[in-house]
Structure 1
Amino acid sequence: MAEAGIAQYRQRLAVRPSVLGRVRTIVKAHMHLWGFAPLAETVALCVHELLVNVPRHTGSPKCELTLDRGPGRLRVTVSDTSQTLPVKREPDWINETGRGLVLLDEMTNAWGAEPNPDGGKSVWFEVRATPRGEAA
């Protein structure tokens, strides 16, 4: 039996510039559907940042995006084929790189990365809020 307030969206992707806009639209639609409308733009931006790093840092565009809505929180996970965990570093302001994890640090309540038991890794973030229509 499913726990009240739990919902999930899962999508396997091959990250290409042509799919990023569609994924942002899907993420924002789920934020509205699940009552997290005020967080829609923030979550979509953070998802975008995670996705653009997949082909850049893994050599493969393949990944899986998971949105997990729980009571008072949303957890987003991007799982890819690389075992190399990301490291937050000082952004390169001239070349406009290295800002993704800094952005996650500033815009989310928590984030992390962990190796997957079957290979690859998962990078995740959480945002907390009481969805519209639920008691605080």
Structure 2
Amino acid sequence: MISHPSRHCTVELQALPSRIGQVRRIVSAQLRYWHMDPLIDRASLGVTELLTNVHLHAVPDKTCTVEMELLLERLTVSVRDHDPRLPVVDDAAPLATCGRGLSMVAAMSETWGARPDGESGKVVWFTLPACGDLAAVTAPPVTARAPRRLVGEVPATVFAEAEPVVDLGSPQPAPARSAVAG
């Protein structure tokens, strides 16, 4: 028996620096709405790194979809774009100013991975535990972990339920009220 119903939020946008900040605020607001405040910092960091990768590397365009799914005590955050090339974790130097995004996602998440999405796209995702020992969720890692180089399927249940979509793709200013789904 599932004790908590599935919760889902989707945001479509152009992965531009100004839009990334908006999505961070949406992620934070959504997690506060779901009473998952301890996950805000890590989820915001992870989505920022994935959206920055879309901005820097995705072709032919920067259009993408961010999805958050809270299901069975696990938060899954994914970014779907139109570039079929799967990401590669670089062995960047510890003080490098670029090339460390996926390593950071790997270090702060429970699991992460990437999978092709049809013939012309991919989904990159990470998970965070949504309950249990919240001290482990909010505490920084004690030791650095080697990046996990996972490429695999996200369970179909992660994308099964659709919610209203927030479109941030237009260059117009965002509406004054928050777009938070329950």
TM class by smaller structure: 0.7 to 0.9
CA distance in 2, matches of 1:52, 1:92: 19
Q: What's the offset of the Cα at 1:21?
A: 1.4
Q: Unaligned 5+ residue runs, structure 2?
A: 133-182
Aligned residues of 2:49 and 2:101 also touching (Cα < 8 A): yes
Q: Which residue of 1 aligns with 2:135?
A: none
Q: 2:36 matched to which residue of 1? A: 36
SS class of match (1:82): coil
How many residue pairs get aligned? The number is 130
In the alignment, the residues of structure 1 paired with residue 103 and residue 70 of structure 2 have an alpha-carbon distance, to the nearest angstrom, of: 23
Q: Report the CA distance between 1:117 and its aligned residue.
A: 2.0
- Aligned-pair CA distance for 1:93: 5.0
TM-score, normalising length from structure 2? 0.66
Out of 76-85 and 17-26, give the one that drifted further: 17-26
Aligned partner of 2:53: which letter?
Answer: N
- Tell me which amino acid in the other structure corresponds to 1:123: V
Give distance in 2, aligned partners of 1:51 and 1:84: 15
Question: More displaced, 93-102 or 30-39?
Answer: 93-102
Give the number of the structure whose residues are more often strand, by fraction.
Answer: 1
State yes or no: 1:8 paired with 2:8: yes
Taking the TM superposition and a 5 Å limit, the aligned residue runs for 1:39-78 are 39-59=39-59, 60-78=61-79
For 1:26, the equivalent position in structure 2 comes to 26
Counterpart in the other structure of 1:126:
127
Tell me if structure 1 keeps the 8 A contact 2:50–2:101. Answer: yes
TM-score with structure 1 setting the length: 0.87
1: CA distance, partners of 2:93 / 2:99: 6
Q: Is the 8 A contact 1:71 1:130 kept in 2?
A: no
- Measured in 2, the distance between the counterparts of 1:36 and 1:96 equals 30
Q: Compare CA radii of gyration and give the structure with the larger one.
A: 2
Percent identity between matched residues is: 34
Q: Output one character per residue of 1:17-42: Cα deviation in whole Å (capped at 9) or x when no partner.
A: 11121111100111111121011011
Once residues 28 and 95 of structure 2 are traced to their aligned partners in structure 1, the CA distance between those partners, rounded to angstroms, is 31
Query: Are the equivalent residues in 1 in contact too, given 2:84–2:119 (CA < 8 A)?
Result: no
Decide whether aligned partners of structure 1 residues 116 and 17 sit closer, same or farther in structure 2, where only a CA change above 3 A counts: same
Paired AA for residue 88 in structure 2: V
